[in-house]
Structure formats: C-alpha cells, structure tokens
Chains A and B, each alone.
Chain A
C-alpha cells in the first residue's frame, strides 16, 4: 500500500471533522498544487530530468524557495534511485511522504502548544504588520474558552490606530477581558499590568498582542525584546510560547522574518494565516528545514473555529487529497 493510502486510513480513523476542515480550507491551495502535479504525472509516465525540472517549478511557485526546492528534489531523486522507481505515479507518493517528513521534523519537536497544567501560561504573539496577529489571538481565545480555560488578553499593540479597539471587540465576542492602556503607552508596561491582573484573577492563559513591526526596524525589535524580558522577569519560564504569525501569501521574506524574530524573541512556533486563499505558504517548508521552527497553527478561514492546530499529516493529506484520490481512480 502506498504511503498516501496508509495516511488516509490512519486519518479516517481519526476525527473526521478536523480532516474535513483541512480538506475544505486547503481547497484552493490544493487545486493549484494537485492539478499541477497531476498534470505533470499524466504527461510523464516515466521519471526523468524534465520531470524533476517541472516539479521544481511547481514547488517554486508554491513559494518553497529555490535552495529548499533544490535540496528537496535532490533528496527525491536519491530516493527514486534507491527504490528503483520509474513510474511517475509512484513518485507522487514519495513526494507526499517527503513532505510529511519535513513538516513533522524530529520526533521531539512537537506541534502542540506548551500549556502549563497548573498556573499561568503566557503566549506572546509577534510578527510583521498585517499578518493577522490580533485575529489569531481572538480565534485562539475562543478555542481556549471553549476548552473551559480562563483567558485574558493583553493589548500590547499600542501603536496602530484602532488596534486596542480591535482586540476589545474580539474580547467582547469571545467573552474574555482585555487589559489595556491608552494608545501610545509602553507595551512592556501593558504586559506588566496584564501579568499582575492574570495572577490576581487566577487566569489560565494570557494571550499577549504586540504591534506589527518590520524585522529590519532595529528599535522596534529592541522594544519587542524588552516586552519579552519584562514577561520573563515577572514569571520565570514565561513566555511559554512565542508565536510568530506569518501570512501565507508572503514570499521569501518570510525566512528573513523568521530569522530576525527568532533572534530577538526566541520564537517557539509559527501560526500560518490566510491559507484559505490561493497562496501555498511553501516558505514554511524552508523555515522548518533551516530554522527548525515548527508550525503550530494554521488559519483556514475567517470563522472563529477556522484556526486549526497544525497536524503535518492532515495538512499534507489536505494538500494532496484530491490529487491522490483522482490518481487512484485511474
């Protein structure tokens, strides 16, 4: 049985709802990749150099990034040689396998959040402007609330016009409190306040919003370091997660973003937003490979529960579902 079918079997035994979410959210993304790969497989019965060259192009168009694509395709070539595969359909299976392997990373690396069983868990959100930090926080707050946790939000974006109000609207929708100061105040001070409040209210989870900033703005990155330092000082071991929010439509610059934000705040995971468009967010493959930052959540739509915990198997299955099933019908 091919790798993909094994995956399918495994997943059908699991929660079907979530798998469906992935399948649905990734419709556009999949339509792009799968039609292309399918077309490729149909045209090349035999695997040769041209086949791999076209595969390279498909991956490049998914924003995977040139270096990573070369590496990936080289690995594929080796694998194909090792297993002595000539049939292009069988190669497709290996592509799926390889991708799952990359997204999974090492065994120890986990895609789930580091949530403290007792006591406060602090999660800090960082990223450039317009990637969806505040929206992600709103959606996550909803998720934790549903799980019966006591959630508090910290309005650390004191810079952008309307940012505090935006978080407040989310707070109202979800039914959680927001700790804020006035626009223009020191975000580190907001964090300090929020931590005191979280302690006093016996909160389980504190979600900290920050202003979007471009990674090449030295002063703003320093400010972010300070925000993190204040949290560290108040609660040893915190923040328990620093999540970098990345827009799936971003190209190669996402790698630079990941590097710089990791340097400044020791990012522990990625939230990949806006995956319901046609963008494929392939750059996270490169980020995963080079910087070993796992993807922890993906945004698959605008609704509150469209933010899903990232599951590499489900993700890759969602990406290739149409493709392999169609392939099987042949």
Chain B
C-alpha cells in the first residue's frame, strides 16, 4: 500500500490541466480529491481533512498561476502554505515561571514516550539553557517506570526525585517541588504514568496534581504514528487538563505523522518539540513547514519551487514572455534563460528534486553535464550581436567561425540553431492558438 507522494499523484491529474493560466473550480475539485487522499493516508483525522480541504479549495480557485509554477505546483503550494499556517509558527520554547522553579507536567497515553521525553527535555534544558532541572518519578503504576527514569538520570547525571511506588503521585509531585525549592532547581519535570484519556480515576489524579503544583507547562506527549483517534485523545486531555503544548515522538520512523495536524486542529496548542531518535539529545524543535511537507509526502519539490521563485527574476520573466508572444525571442534571451536556470544549482541536483524523476527510466543514472550548458553558452557568446538577434543570417562560414570561437564542433552549432528555430516555430503556433482560443500560459524549456 505504498502511497506515492502527493506531488506525483497530482502530476498525473495535472496532465490535462497543464498550460492553463488560471486554476478553475473543476481543476481544484479534482486535485482536492488527491489532497484529501494524501491527508487520509497520513492519518489526518477525517473531519480535519474535510474542513481543511474546503478551506484550501476556496483559496485555490481562481488563483493566477505564478510564472514559475505549473498549476499542479501552484495548488501544492497553496495546500502547503495553508498546512504550514495551520500548524502554527515555530514555538520550541518552554515556559519560564516568574518565580522558579518552573513546573512542567508530562502527560499522555501509555507508550507514547513520556519518560524518554522527560529525560530528553531535561537534557535540553541543561545543555541549551543552562538550567538545573529536577526529574520527578510520578509513574507509580508501570513496573520499573521509576527505575527507567533513574537510569536516565544516571546517564545524564541529573537528580531524580522518587518516593517509591507506594506514595500517591500527588504527594510525590508536591514534595518534589519543596525539594526543588530547597535545592534551587529552576525546573521540575514531572513524569506521570501513561493513561487512557477515558480512564476517569487516573485523569482525576492528573487534575489533582495540576491543582496542587500549579504547573507552568502541561506537555501532552503523543506518538507520531497515532491514527484517527489522535483527535479524541488530544481533545480529551486538553479539555480535562488544559495542555499548554505538545511533544510529538517517534518521528524518526517513516510515518507521515498526520496526527500532528489533527492535534493542532482540535487543541490549537503549539507543537513544541519532536522526538527524533532514541538518544538523549534527539529532541528537536518543531518545524511546521517540514511537517507539512512530510504529511503531504512531497519530498523536495517545494525546495525546488522555492529555488525557482528566488532565482527567477519576475520582471525578466515577464519581459521574456512578452518577447515569446511576439515571437521576437533572440539568442540573447535564450542565454539569459540559461543563466537563470544555472543559478538554481547543478542540473542533476534539480532533477533529483523533481517528484517522479527517480522512477523515470534512464533519468536515474543520467548525469546531466553542466558542461553541456556551458558549451551552449560558449556558442552563443561567440556570435556577433547581429547574429544573436537574427540567427537566420548565420551561414556556413559564420557557423565555422562560431565553432572555432567557442571551441565546439560545427555540428553542435548546427544543432543549437536548429533547436532554437524549432522553439520559435512552436511559439508562433502557440500564439496563433492563443489568439483564437483562450489565454494560455506558456513555459520555456527548463521551467
């Protein structure tokens, strides 16, 4: 059931829409079906998917297609922008109380990774913020949970507060804070037992702890692989405790992590950190944008789009389009175009970023030689101004001269001129079509 990335699927849908200047409602509808699927495969909750797709459709319809994008890419961009926005800004900060110690409560389902995350967070607080955290073993239910935290404490050489498993977690938490004050710890991280969000007794226990210790942060720890139920879990914890942030764990797996979106949508609480591995330093800030790409499964196509946006000068692109429309494109323009493409980086790198490029026959091993482009450039640069503007005057002797000047064989000069001629012809045809029919967007090769 391998699910190809959204961009690949969209590209298939896109074949027929290619070349349109505007995204119509019908196009969007078709594309949104793919977006919906992608989100469902990523485990985003169905309700969240529905409202999201609706919102995006509204935004995407009637959008002018940017010069550097195909309509498909345009829609992806809208989807990704919306998704990123929904996921919130980068908020990998943890609260600091006005009067220390800052109290942080870790809550969540069994097996989400609370204890490990508690260790990682303590490590981060000490290393990055130079804090002095106290770990509190308040999971008295799971066998050896206290032991686990103590082992982590030993590894990190951080103190762990424990009263064994015979004392109530409420009391443990209260005493821990007294101790933290005595010993001047500025952070207290309380590791609570995993519990089902529907377990009333255990949820009450968390409420009691909350009341007693008045935490500055309640972090909900959620497994990134969680499915549709993520909304119920998040909603329930949030309703009962008022969580202040979310930590997404096990993101070093290959799940798309749609739970992130679901949780964000129902709680509107920021995702503060992500767990990226089993080691104690594998706690990273949450990047909404990266998460959006991951959920959509679209690889690097966006970095490509971004690169295109950044490098291709819009003014020049407009001018170029004008020239193409009037079919007055010269070899000089062509040269400029090449330079812009080159600014985006080595060509085979660019190709790799294109979705589907890896699967295309031959393309996989194809090494696009940047030299080839240099050769084309050399050939054009060896022409006179007049030749560049009116390539039709280039006769056999001029060709030989150009070949010599550029150090390339005459055949190559011939090939280039022929290609350029064909390109111009194509443009003329297209322009004729545009005059008759509706306006159509136009793309240069390489774009």
Contact = CB atoms under 8 A, between A and B. Distances in A.
Contacts of B225: 128, 247, 250-251, 253-254
Contacts of A280: 228-229
Contact of B43 (A183, A253, A286, A290): A253
B265 to A, nearest CB: 14
B134 to A, nearest CB: 18
B152 A161 contact: yes
A277 B197 contact: yes
Contacts of B46: 57, 60-61
Contact of B37 (A66, A247, A254, A283): A66
Contact of A67 (B1, B42, B145, B256): B1
A132 B226 CA distance: 15
Nearest to A130: B111
Interface string B171-204: 0000000000000000000000000111000000
A252 B109 contact: no
A61 B111 contact: no
A168 B144 contact: yes
Given A130-B223, A165-B147, A168-B144, A278 B110 contact: no
Interface in A163-222: 163, 165-166, 168-170, 173, 183, 214-217
B366 to A, nearest CB: 27
A290 B2 CA distance: 12
Nearest to A259: B1
Contacts of A160: 148, 278
Contacts of A63: 43, 227-229
A278 B229 contact: yes
A255 B3 CA distance: 12
B144 A166 contact: yes
A253 B112 CA distance: 15
A170 B227 contact: no
Nearest to A277: B196
Contact of A216 (B148, B254, B256): B254
B151 interface: yes
B28 to A, nearest CB: 20
A120 interface: no
A283 B225 CA distance: 12
A62 B228 contact: yes
A62 B232 CA distance: 12
Nearest to B224: A253
Contacts of B223: 130, 247, 249-250
A274 interface: yes
Given A161-B148, A247-B111, A253 B253 contact: yes
Contacts of A217: 252
Contacts of B230: 249, 251
Contacts of A214: 250, 252-254
B419 interface: no
A276 interface: yes
Interface string A128-156: 11111000001000000000000000000
Given A67-B1, A215-B254, A249 B197 contact: no
Nearest to B146: A162
A252 B45 contact: no
B142 to A, nearest CB: 7
A251 B148 contact: no
A102 B119 CA distance: 43
B278 A162 contact: no
B291 to A, nearest CB: 15
A95 interface: no
Given A252-B42, A253-B43, A278 B198 contact: yes
Given A162-B148, A165-B144, A166-B148, A249 B198 contact: no
Given A129-B250, A278-B197, A162 B229 contact: no
Interface in B59-106: none
A52 interface: no
A132 B43 contact: no
Contacts of B226: 249-251
Nearest to A165: B144
B21 interface: no
Interface in B257-287: 258-259, 278
A51 interface: no
Contacts of B42: 252
Interface in B1-21: 1
Nearest to A131: B111
Contacts of B278: 129, 159-160
Nearest to A28: B198
Contact of B113 (A28, A130, A170, A216): A130
Nearest to A290: B1
B40 interface: yes
Contacts of A159: 278
A65 interface: yes
Given A251-B228, A252-B227, A66 B254 contact: no
Q: Which of B45, B110, B259 has the most CB of A within 10 A?
A: B110
A128 B255 CA distance: 12
B228 A166 contact: no
Contact of A279 (B115, B227, B254): B227
Interface string B155-178: 100000000000000000000000
A78 interface: no
Interface in A282-296: 282-283, 286, 290
A128 B250 contact: yes
B113 to A, nearest CB: 6
Interface in A254-270: 254-256
B228 A215 contact: no
B246 to A, nearest CB: 15
A236 B430 CA distance: 72
A128 B253 contact: yes
Nearest to A276: B196
Interface in B211-253: 223, 225-230, 232-233, 250, 252-253
Interface in B98-151: 109-113, 115, 119, 142-145, 147-151
A253 B197 contact: no
Contact of B112 (A57, A130, A216, A276): A130
A129 B221 CA distance: 14
B255 A162 contact: no
Given A161-B148, A247-B223, A279-B229, A66 B197 contact: no
Contacts of A28: 198
Contacts of B252: 214, 216-217
Closest 4 CB pairs of A and B: A251-B227, A162-B148, A130-B111, A251-B43
15 contacts: A57-B46, A60-B40, A128-B250, A161-B147, A162-B144, A166-B147, A166-B148, A168-B144, A169-B143, A214-B253, A247-B223, A249-B227, A253-B253, A274-B109, A277-B233
